[in-house]
Amino acid sequence: MSNQDLSIAAKLINGGVAGLVGVTCVFPIDLAKTRLQNQHGKDMYKGMIDCLMKTARAEGFLGMYRGEFIRHPRGDLTWHGAAVNLTLVTPEKAIKLAANDFFRQLLMKDGMQRNLKMEMLAGCGAGMCQVVVTCPMEMLKIQLQDAGRLAAPHQSSTSAPSSSRSYTTGSASTHKRPSATLIAWELLRTQGLAGLYKGLGATLLRDIPFSIIYFPMFANLNKLGVHELTGKASFAHSFMSGCIAGSLAAVAVTPLDVLKTRIQTLKKGLGEDVYSGIMDCARKLWIQEGPSAFMKGAGCRALVIAPLFGIAQGVYFIGIGEHILKYFE
């Protein structure tokens, strides 16, 4: 195995491991973000803590991992939902982090020369590459995460006042807990591959600006902690750099994330809009819910992305991939 092959393989392993660790830690907050962004008005959840508490009460602790675990009536767990994260987050984070390194080396003389424009261009390339996996992953994840928001009010609709029934979709059959496998198969059967890539434009509009902001900011923050002897920053410094850059970039692109979430949500509650595209979604959101709606879930998103990318960059710079590949030399 050549040095270049080793480097690419190590980067992919590092990115994959980092993604798995990070997502497992922050998934409940990500679920709260999705449900807050999808609710029209403030009838159901008052905020992140309220959302998590109601989810835990209604669906149990594992309900906060909707999209990771599915519990059947007889009580056993399957891994249909887990496949969304355990299978797709690995290549997604691997592509994102490795692609940024690749473009930095291609554009900036092995990534050592400081050039903000080239750093932003490298981030843009990474954002474009990752959507190949990100878009279908988010499509499946959002359906699983949002299922409880639609189902919970239905369960108590007989005793609830009419003002709290805006999330009921109809028959009880519509509230059966889905699985990623069934959702993916139904989309492929009815809409083809395009079904899994619904919201691709919105995903690109979110991920490219995010990467343009995040990667240059992280690189420059991380360089401040590089040790002269080792040539690398410490885990703690990389972690904090990832947290700071991730949270700022996440808040900056929250309006685009809200649009993406709304567009990719397939099942709508009673009275909730269906959107024909990005502009239609933005127009309806502005008119019906006001400018503040574009920042729904901003706090949750910052709390998700900050530790996610902090952990990701920390693990990535530890070099787990290099240690693993040493056994195959």
Contacts 24+ apart (CB under 8 A), 65-73: 65/27, 65/28, 65/31, 66/31, 66/144, 66/145, 66/147, 66/148, 67/27, 67/31, 67/140, 67/141, 67/144, 67/145, 67/180, 68/27, 70/177, 70/179, 71/177
Q: What is the pTM of this model?
A: 0.76
Average pLDDT on 142-155 reads: 66
pLDDT tens by residue, 178-197: 677 788 888 999 999 999 99
- What fold is seen in the domain 3-153+198-328? Mitochondrial carrier fold (1.50.40)
The domain ranges of the chain are 3-153+198-328
pLDDT tens, position by position, 55-110: 888 877 766 665 444 444 444 434 344 446 556 767 787 788 888 888 888 888 65
Query: Are 67 and 24 a contacting pair, CB within 8 Å?
Result: no
pLDDT per residue as tens digits for the range 7-30? 677 777 877 787 777 777 777 888
pLDDT at 278 over 80: yes
